[in-house]
Amino acid sequence: MTLQLYGVVRAGHPRAPRTVCWEDLAMVVGEAPAQPDPAVHLAVVSALVEGGPVLPVRFGTVAEDEDAVRADVLAPAAGTYRADLDRLDGLAEVHVCLRFTEPGSAWRATRSDVLLSEVAERARDSVSLPAGESADERWAFLVGLGDLLVVRDAVTGLDGGGEVRAEWVGPLPAYSFLDRRTCSRWSW
């Protein structure tokens, strides 16, 4: 039976609905749907975050069966997966989008630093994301699970001043903080 792959977690993850285990690692899997849905994929991996670290697998990735998951996915990269799970333990990614009404990119960049200072103080790491169609500035922050509500409140408090609209999305798996150079066809 073909399996849809969602993410690598530690074996025994409390929020993982179905897993294939190899030693202390587990791949969260499901039956491969005829029409994969990116929203469902994101919902599955995001639901895992609060139960422990998750290394998301690229949307639409499938494996032939459980043996292939063990032999081709988990075993060959076990050391890397363990190190990343340890590094991300207790952390989640949040995205912050800022939309400015004032023109001028230099002004926006300076203003962003000031506006996001409370979030940045709580973050372990941050990275600028491509702006996309509707956001002037987008940032990903790696924050502790215990700081999620503080970060949400800080971002929500930015919205309403008229000159900037602020939105946040999270908690998410740490997509932006995984090393893309080490990924394979099986990973993020």
Q: What are the pLDDT digits (tens) for 50-101?
A: 899 999 999 999 999 999 999 999 999 999 999 999 999 999 999 998 887 7
CB 126, CB 139: distance < 8 Å = yes
Query: Alpha-carbon distance 81 to 54, whole Å?
Result: 10
Radius of gyration, CA atoms only, the chain: 18
Query: What pLDDT, on a 0 to 100 scale, did the predictor assign at position 184?
Result: 46
CA distances from 118 to 58, 102, 110, 157 (A): 31, 22, 15, 11
Average pLDDT on 169-176 reads 92
Round the average pLDDT of the chain to a whole number and report it.
87
Q: Is the model's pLDDT at 165 over the cut of 50?
A: yes
Amino acid type, 95: H
Burial of 86: CB neighbours in 10 Å, binned 0-12, 13-18, 19+:
exposed
Q: Is the model's pLDDT at 104 over the cut of 80?
A: no
Residue 89, number of CB atoms within 10 A of its CB: 11
Q: Compute the C-alpha angle 75/76/80, nearest 5°.
A: 95
More confident residue, 148 or 108: 148
Q: Is the model's pLDDT at 135 over the cut of 70?
A: no
Query: What pLDDT, on a 0 to 100 scale, did the predictor assign at position 14?
Result: 96
Task: Write out the two tokens for 188.
Answer: 């993020």
User: In the chain, what are the domains?
Assistant: 3-88 (no CATH), 91-177 (3.30.70.100)
Q: Is the peptide bond before 14 cis (omega within 30 degrees of 0)?
A: no
Query: What pLDDT, on a 0 to 100 scale, did the predictor assign at position 157?
Result: 86
CB 129, CB 161: distance < 8 Å = no
With cut-offs at 50, 70 and 90, classify the pLDDT of residue 185: very low
- Write the CB contacts of 138 (distance below 8 Å, at least 6 apart in sequence): 95, 96, 97, 98, 128, 129, 130, 131, 132
User: Which pTM was predicted?
Assistant: 0.84
